[in-house]
Amino acid sequence: MGVKSKAVVAIIVLLLFLGSLWLQGGLDYHWDSCMKSYNQLNKLHEPHHLSNSNESGGVDDESLALQHCPGQNFQVSLLHAHLLDAQEPPSDVLLQPYLASWDELVKFMEALGPMVGLISNEIQSKTNIIRQLALKSKRSPDAEFGPNKDAINSLSVTEVDDYQSVRSMIHTEVSQGLVNFQRYQTDSGCRTLLRLHRALLWLESFLEKLAETPATGRLRSPSDLCREAYQGTLAKHHTWLVRKGAELAFIAMPERAFFFRLVCVQDQEEFGALLSKVVKAIRDVYDRTQVALEDNNMLDLP
């Protein structure tokens, strides 16, 4: 094997290793869900049917359609619907639609190619942890529990009072002593949620930057925007090695035209209007989660 081939293999191995460190910055969970597929169609919501243009021919932000995009596994209409459904009055976040939102975001990352898709494996493992905890809480204390993919993915978290929402999960885990503020524990939905929460801020920032149209009209590459969003959010929680691995993954990100096709729009004007609706929904869910974690002093859980 030549020197160049060895270098390529070394980079791939490094990215595989760093993918598992993406959210935590350490070997916090094994990759027991690395190769699970998200090809099932989510039928929880029908797409919105709204007009996407105004009389002048431009894009109307308020009426932009969020429709099913044929040929795509990721569906922005489902992501938006789940984010809206997650917002429980007055200020809580329902876990079932919150996790369903992450299912769509995982598909989004996987669509960006194998290098970025590696990151989604770690996120998927964390959503499964919360689902497993919710499933376990539904059983009797002496019931035998083992991971079951079909049972976990089909679990309706709203059927489990302890894990119905972010605040109910926090209350349950604090009252039962499942959250340790001094040292790391794996079996904590609150700690797992915090890692997802940080990643959500990164994706919100990235999508917000993608939606922007600079005054000069010159659009920056998605790779540069994703790197910038990462440096302002998740990077502060990662080691130098993980940060360098992330930058390698961003290099392989597709060009902007790919994103247009991914959500079935024709140009940056339509793209920006559509993403603005999604970013607003993400921000609303993020802010609610932020307050819940802050109220319980959980923003710096080890």
- Per-residue confidence (pLDDT) for residue 95, from 0 to 100: 97
- Structure tokens of 66? 């969020």
In this predicted structure, the answer to whether residue 142 has a pLDDT above a threshold of 70 is: no
Confidence of residue 54 (pLDDT cuts 50, 70, 90): very low
Q: List 88's β-bridge partners, or say none.
A: 92
- Per-residue confidence (pLDDT) for residue 203, from 0 to 100: 96
Task: Work out the average pLDDT over 34-60.
Answer: 36
In this predicted structure, the answer to whether residue 90 has a pLDDT above a threshold of 60 is: yes
In this predicted structure, the answer to whether residue 52 has a pLDDT above a threshold of 80 is: no
Name the CATH topology of 3-32+44-50+61-295.
Glycolipid transfer protein, GLTP (1.10.3520)
Residue type, 24: Q
Task: Work out the average pLDDT over 128-136.
Answer: 92
Residue type, 162: D
Given a contact cutoff of 8 angstroms between Cβ atoms, the answer to whether 59 and 276 are in contact is no
- Structure tokens of 191? 């700690």
**For residue range 162-198, what is the model confidence (pLDDT) as tens digits?**
999 999 999 999 998 888 887 766 679 999 999 999 9
Rounded to 5°, the CA angle 227-37-77 comes to: 65
CA–CA dist 119, 17 (Å, integer): 10
Confidence of residue 57 (pLDDT cuts 50, 70, 90): very low
Residue type, 107: K
- Burial code (b: 16+ CB inside 10 Å, e: under 16) for 127-161 equals bbbbbbbbbbbbeeeeeeeeeeeeebeebebeebe
- Per-residue confidence (pLDDT) for residue 180, from 0 to 100: 81
What DSSP string describes the chain?
Answer: --HHHHHHHHHHHHHHHHHTTTTTSS--S--TTTT----SPP-S-PPP------TTSS--TTT------TT-SS-HHHHHHHHHHTEETTTEEBHHHHHHHHHHHHHHHHHT-HHHHHHHHHHHHHHHHHHHHHHHHHS-TTS-----HHHHHH--GGG-GGGSBHHHHHHHHHHTT---SSS--SS-HHHHHHHHHHHHHHHHHHHHHHH---TT--PPPHHHHHHHHHHTTGGGGS-HHHHHHHHHHHHTPPPHHHHHHHTT-SSHHHHHHHHHHHHHHHHHHHHHHHHHHHHTT-TT--
